[in-house]
Amino acid sequence: MDLHMSEFAFFRFKSNNMLTKEEEEHKEEIIRLTEEVLEAKGMQCDARISRIPEQELIDILEKVRELRRKKKKRESSTEVLKEEDLHILNR
């Protein structure tokens, strides 16, 4: 998958004022997750992204947000487990 396509999708999200400030600040993460979503949808050409209807663009961004939430939840759970392990070791 061409990363350029994901960057173009990010630009479309941004130009349509679909991103939060926090998402804009985490551009690389959003691009990477967008790449995963587009790949799962079988989208492989830049021209297709430029012609995609706004509703489908919204759907893609929602899937990106869902992946991001899941990733953050996993990272948070892992961090809690690490803290619990440290607490047990320090007893």
Q: Cα(first)–Cα(last) distance of the chain, in Å?
A: 49
Q: Kindly give, in sequence order, each residue whose CB lies less than 8 Å from that of residue 29, ignoring residues fewer than 6 positions away.
A: 68
The phi-psi region of residue 55 (left if phi > 0; otherwise alpha if psi is between -120 and 50; otherwise beta) is: alpha
- Per-residue pLDDT of 55-64, as tens digits, reads 999 999 999 9
Whether 64 contacts 29, CB under 8 Å: no
- Per-residue pLDDT of 4-28, as tens digits, reads 778 888 999 999 999 999 999 999 9
- Per-residue pLDDT of 26-56, as tens digits, reads 999 999 999 899 888 887 655 577 788 999 9
Per-residue pLDDT, averaged over 69-81, amounts to 78
Is 90 exceeded by the pLDDT of residue 81? no
What is the pLDDT at residue 80?
Answer: 62
What is the pLDDT at residue 45?
Answer: 56
